[in-house]
Amino acid sequence: MLIVGAGPAGLFGAYYAGFRGMSVTLVDSLPEIGGQISALYPEKAILDVAGFPVIKGRELVHALIEQASSANPTYLLDRTANALTATEDGVVMGLDDGTEVHAKVVVITAGIGKFTPRPLPAGDGWEDKGLVFFVPDFDPYVGKDVVIVGGGDSAFDWAHHLEPIAASVTLVHRRDAFRAHQATVDAVLAGRTEVITKAQVTALLGDDRVEKVEITTNDGEVLVRPAQAVVAALGFIADLSAMKDWGVEFEKRQIKVDTAMRTNLPRVFAAGDITEYDGKVRLIAVGFGEVATAINNAAPLVFPDQGVFPGHSSEGS
């Protein structure tokens, strides 16, 4: 079994493939396991995973990795799957480093595809000098002045979590309306974070590292704020071009699947946010069920003497 995408659905799929007796390899373009959760919101509280009233993103990923370890999976990280050949007998996946992975079945759990952060126009040349796009760990920001650019969930989540530990937090957004969850917006507005709207960061200032930022309002007023860290939370650009070259049928930006999570290609299944079908709901909880459906329907292709139904995990494998 080859799984493309090492986020929550992919990790649970790895466990389930092992439960069905398969060897399993996961490929991911990110350098770490966990997909968007690890890259974007590892400290965010997740409230809609069955059995956990609340669990942080990082804790969920760690638990999924531990669960998947029973399958002894092989991880091929920081590599992009860019070519796929599917036949009635098997699948060959080509990676951008020249590696070829041969599998009997592929399950695509690639979320929104390969993604890269949207650049901050004023941030050219400041990466690794105080400008970052993700905040996977809060500890480096203790006692620092932090400027966050953006108005979405990530921007407000990071502002909310950094406010108690940073020397100051300033959030800059080009509009006075926000895309973030209203409860988080209300919490940030009620705290000590300075929220500057109808404005943009127009310059990062400092010698070897960022020391302050220049903010220009729509009215032309120029403000300067201290900043040893600037977080550009401007969203990301999803790249599905490689997958679209594989011959998989898409509906807009998602892969079309049937009720067994089969794509139009032989031996190629998909699950999680990357999929589309009538009534689709994009939740982590739904992705878990979809990838279990995909693995179980793939099992007879790997082991012709097996059926789709796996038996119950409480009965042993």
- What pLDDT does 190 receive? 97
- What pLDDT does 317 receive? 46
**Check: CATH 3.50.50.60 for 119-232?**
yes
Task: Say which DSSP state 34 is in.
Answer: T
pLDDT in tens, 163-201: 999 999 999 999 999 998 898 899 999 999 999 999 999
Domain ranges of the chain: 2-116+236-315, 119-232
- What pLDDT does 75 receive? 96
Coil vs helix vs strand at 140: helix
What b/e string do you get for 117-134 counting C-beta neighbours within 10 Å, with b at 16 or more? beebebbeebeeebbbbb
- What pLDDT does 238 receive? 73
- What pLDDT does 313 receive? 66
The answer to whether 109 touches 207, Cβ cutoff 8 Å, is no
User: Contacts from 60-68 at CB under 8 Å and sequence distance 24+?
Assistant: 60/8, 61/8, 61/11, 61/33, 61/34, 61/37, 64/8, 64/11, 64/12, 64/15, 64/34, 65/11, 65/33, 65/34, 67/11, 67/12, 67/15, 68/11, 68/12, 68/14, 68/15, 68/18
Fold agreement between 2-116+236-315 and 119-232: yes
Integer CA distances (angstroms), 302 to 2, 75, 238, 297, 298, in order = 12, 20, 32, 10, 7
- The CATH number that domain 2-116+236-315 falls under is 3.50.50.60
Q: Which amino acid is at 210?
A: V
Q: Which residue has the tokens 């693995």?
A: 295
Q: Which residues of the chain are modeled with pLDDT < 50?
A: 317
- What pLDDT does 36 receive? 78
Torsion of CA 117, 64, 68, 104, to 10 degrees: -50
Known binding-site residue numbers for FAD? 28, 36, 41, 81, 115, 273, 314
What is the pTM for the complete model shown? 0.74
Known binding-site residue numbers? 28, 36, 41, 81, 115, 273, 314
Coil vs helix vs strand at 48: coil
Coil vs helix vs strand at 76: strand
